[in-house]
Amino acid sequence: MAEKKQRWALEGTRVIDLTWLLAGPGGTRILATLGAEVIRVECRDARAVDFLRYTPPFPRKDPGAPVQDLGMLAGTPANGFNRSGNFNNINPGKFGITLNLNHPKGRDLLRRLVAKAHVLCENFSPERMDQWRVGYDALRRVNPALIYVQTTGMGKAGVYRDYAGYGPTAQALSGLTAMSGLPEPRQPAGWGYSYLDHSPGYYSSMMIIAALMRQRRTGQGCYIDLSQTEIGILLSGAATLKYQLDGQPTGRHGNRMPFAPWAPHGAFPCRGDDEWIAIAVQDDPQWAALAAEIGSWALDDRFAQASGRKANEEEIERRLAGWTAQHDSYDLTARLQARGVPAGPAQKSADRFTRDPQLKARDYFVTLPHSELGEWPLDGFPARMSASPACVGGRANRGAPILGEDNERIYRDILGIGASELRALMEEGAV
Amino acid sequence: MSARISPLTDALDGYVVLETGDERGEFAGLLLAGLGAEVIRVEPPDGAPSRRLGPFAGDVPDPEQSLHFWRYNLNKKGLRLNLGNPEGHRVFARLAARADVILDSGEAGAVERRRALHRSGRDLNPRLIVCTITPFGMSGPWRDLKATDLTQLAMGGIMAVCGYDRGADGKYDTPPIAPAPWHSYHLGSEYAAVSITAALNFRELTGEGQEIDVSIHEAVNTCTEHAMPSYIYAGSVVRRQTARHAASSISPPWLRPSADGVYVNAILAPTEREFRAFVRLLDECDIAHDFNAEAFADASKRGRREAQNAIYAALDRLVASMPAEEVFRRSQALGLAWAPVRRPEENLGDPHFQRRGSFAAIGHPELGRELLYPASVATDGENPHFGYGRRAPHLGEHTDEVLARAGFSADEIATLHAADVV
């Protein structure tokens, strides 16, 4: 039987991708997954290569090899540019070329590529592209319908335009760090990863696709100055509204539910080292089901109704923790779920990868080839689309490109640059 | 220059989204509405479940006073419709015949029961896009597990990497912590909005609609940065640390208190440029230190514990020497990506976010005032790309208008009211 032809949601879309780290490349990953031709444009110079290209984790020689130190200091160009698993996970499905924007011919090549593309994405510091004279105002002369996306910590327009920001900077400023953790006087727990480096990808991709539809309809381009901190503010729920109405500062609530009479509501210890189960009781029948499983103290009338559970939340949490600690988190999840109680283990990476039956059944992890690393499983895409399936390997049908992997094909097919001209450009340092 | 720049607030103009379901999908509808789609929030006779979520205006648990509902339903039109009634199904089918998208959310069982509705819409209108947002997707062994935002953040892996440092004995004395409510629903909805927009693009190219099955569990799983590759490639299970990346080895703290007690996120990245900026700030602020600044400019020479201790002690003293907002200004002036830990409301009056239109002023005639809502994440240089101008609907506020625009006559509408279908 002939293989069914892949149909892409973003058929016919070309994206010039100058992004690095995660805040920019996360978005172009999504575009590649949906079928855009994403051309990752990188500089060969070790000082300008995406830091993630040479930062661990690297594949272990064999599964028995010692676990690596993943400290930031382990990121050095001496590691090579094509061995990072994290980079592979962030950049699958993209084509890769090299181009030097510090070289006049490199900038010329970029202008020629942009003339034949629909979208350009970058996340340099706010003024960098203008300094190279390839900012939005320069490039729209080359391509008036261009969709130009610039992702920065604060946003380019505004009084913090010169401020620097990583994901955690944006989390702190936006309010997301302050909202996470146990109540004062405990300090915030914040986030154990860069949530606001993931989030820009969702917004850049959705805005780019909306802009593509408008571009097709009107011929009009778009400039998108995307701010990681603003995304954090958007994700702060109703906190700012409440403050405007009652003037009370936004607090932290640990794992408790401040917005509904749900109790108990938290993570409770289980058998083993640092194993936990999350339990969220939303109503009296769920509590009755949980209490029947526990017996003894849980059958106390004081706890039968939500108001009583809220009033005695600390006592319930303490007793519940004593009970859960005797059990395995997965066994307990099965028992509680059988009674209709929302519960689930706090899964660590190893649990999700090796144990989670749901991710397995839905083929969440996608194994793709990488030209230097071989085949590796990558994070999948959480939406199944019936007519234009998302496909993490994209048009390239592989993991991340090695540095300059597609130079020959891209420069030839898009710009008509032959092998000898390409060689000369490389010798000059333009490519 | 031929091209005009303008915001994307009209990009989805003319597209109609019928939104059913619960709080899991409301953020997706909100995002589509911000890009110009007409989103009709279809609610059961007693209102959407999210109307029962707080906080509440005046702390009154009233379905019309839910700030949660207000926040996630800006710009939407409110249609009260009894889908438990066969006549309600017929009304829905007529609306679906002229809609572009059905957005549904909830537990898989509830969504499954509405499948017949979705199918009748697709039969009448093959261009229709149907997107469901469910805890685990519409298949698989966990499909029907009971789930809340908390359990999703636990099972999806975000919780395990968030929380506090280990105690002095090397063991955790606090649980993993879900970073404030609703982020699993944010993630599911963000992917839904991306996929719906992509499906609309596909339909423009091909004329075909399709079905989209979003799993919140998978959406959460995509969002733990290097935690998963660290395990897959290096066999390393990262462990949580206070307000910084979960890691396989313990790293220096990032949050430190300032003179006014407000914490500052002060990260020292291992680059020479940032280290020199840090030393310069110490000098400018007359903060004494006893490390060899010249030698430590090379990050590889800072590895020893005594060196780290000296550097971080000076950093603590620096931040403690002035108020958090002053640390912000002075560190950023030297190119350091530091920021105070603000509460969300502390950004309401910040000129940066005012200039960008990050908040939209929305009129609430019943309150006799406007409220500022977090609204946009990007500008075109002048105007925000997400546009909001109308407060969330009261239950059934636009029922008659929506029905009339779909071709229902005044008599039909009156009959539907009389039968309590709408």
Query: How many angstroms separate the CA of residue B88 from the nearest CA in chain A?
Result: 28
* A221/B162 Cβ within 8 A: no
Residues A223 and B48: beta-carbon distance below 8 Å: no
Q: Assess whether pLDDT exceeds 50 at residue B75.
A: yes
User: How sure is the predictor about A69, in pLDDT bands with cuts at 50, 70 and 90?
Assistant: low
Residue B3: per-residue pLDDT: 47
Where does CATH 3.40.50.10540 sit in chain A? 14-234+362-428
Interface of A with B in 148-177 (CB under 8 A): 153-160, 162-166, 168-177
Inter-axis angle of helices B272-284 and B305-320, nearest 10: 50
All residues at 6 or more sequence positions from B303 whose CB lies less than 8 Å from its CB, including other chains: A73
Of A290-299, B21-30, B88-97, B284-293, the range with the lowest mean pLDDT is B284-293
Which structure tokens are listed for A62? Answer: 């064999």
Residue A140: per-residue pLDDT: 96
Q: Assess whether pLDDT exceeds 70 at residue A87.
A: yes
Q: Which homologous superfamily does the CATH classification assign to the domain defined by A14-234+362-428?
A: Crotonobetainyl-coa:carnitine coa-transferase; domain 1 (3.40.50.10540)
- pLDDT tens figures, B219-265: 999 999 999 999 999 999 999 999 999 998 888 899 999 999 999 99
Q: Which homologous superfamily does the CATH classification assign to the domain defined by A265-346?
A: formyl-coa transferase, domain 3 (3.30.1540.10)
Which residues are paired to A197 by β-bridges?
none
Q: What are the contacts of A422-427 at 24+ separation with CB within 8 A?
A: A425/A105, A425/A109
- pLDDT tens figures, A13-53: 999 999 999 999 999 999 999 999 999 999 999 989 999 99
Q: What does the domain layout of chain B look like in residue ranges?
A: 8-223+392-418, 253-341
Its pTM stands at 0.98
The secondary structure element, H or E, covering residue B191 is helix B183-206
Nearest Cα residue in chain A from B372: A241
- pLDDT tens figures, A187-226: 999 999 999 999 999 999 999 999 999 999 999 999 999 9
Q: Assess whether pLDDT exceeds 50 at residue A368.
A: yes
From the list A285, A240, A232, A282, the residue with the least C-alpha distance to A257 is A282
Q: What's the average model confidence in pLDDT over A400-418? A: 98
Q: What's the average model confidence in pLDDT over B306-329? A: 94
- pLDDT tens figures, B28-63: 999 999 999 999 999 999 999 999 999 999 999 999
Q: Which of A77-81, A413-417, B305-309 has the highest mean pLDDT?
A: A413-417
Residues A380 and A392: beta-carbon distance below 8 Å: yes
* B225/A10 Cβ within 8 A: no
User: How sure is the predictor about A73, in pLDDT bands with cuts at 50, 70 and 90?
Assistant: low
Q: Assess whether pLDDT exceeds 70 at residue B303.
A: no
Residue B4: per-residue pLDDT: 58
Rounded CA-CA distance B284/B321 in Å is: 12
Q: Which residue has the higher pLDDT, B364 or A5?
A: B364
Rounded CA-CA distance B94/B89 in Å is: 9
Query: How many angstroms separate the CA of residue B409 from the nearest CA in chain A?
Result: 33
Burial of B134 (0-12, 13-18, 19+ CB in 10 A): buried
Q: Assess whether pLDDT exceeds 60 at residue B341.
A: yes
A277 interfacial to chain B (CB closer than 8 Å): yes
Give the CATH architecture of domain B253-341.
Answer: 2-Layer Sandwich (3.30)
* A209/B204 Cβ within 8 A: no
Nearest Cα residue in chain A from B329: A163
Residue A76: per-residue pLDDT: 85
Q: Assess whether pLDDT exceeds 90 at residue A60.
A: no
Q: Assess whether pLDDT exceeds 70 at residue A71.
A: no
User: How sure is the predictor about A326, in pLDDT bands with cuts at 50, 70 and 90?
Assistant: very high
Residue B1: per-residue pLDDT: 43
Residue A348: per-residue pLDDT: 98
- pLDDT tens figures, B120-144: 889 999 999 999 999 999 999 999 9
Q: Assess whether pLDDT exceeds 70 at residue B283.
A: yes
Nearest to B210 among A141, A262, A388 (CB): A388
Mean pLDDT of chain B, nearest integer: 95
Percent of chain A with pLDDT over 90: 93
Query: How many angstroms separate the CA of residue A392 from the nearest CA in chain B?
Result: 12
**A212 chain-B contacts, CB cut-off 8 A:** 201
Rounded CA-CA distance A55/A87 in Å is: 8
- pLDDT tens figures, B13-26: 999 999 999 999 99
Nearest to B229 among A86, A163, A222 (CB): A86
Residues A92 and A368: beta-carbon distance below 8 Å: yes
The dotted CATH code for B8-223+392-418 is 3.40.50.10540
Query: Residue A65, by phi and psi: left (phi above 0), alpha (psi -120 to 50) or beta?
Result: beta
CA distances, B162 to each of A182, B188, B219, B241 (Å): 12, 19, 17, 7
Query: How many angstroms separate the CA of residue B389 from the nearest CA in chain A?
Result: 15
Mean pLDDT of chain A, nearest integer: 96
Residue B306: per-residue pLDDT: 77
Q: Assess whether pLDDT exceeds 80 at residue B2.
A: no
* A57/B236 Cβ within 8 A: yes
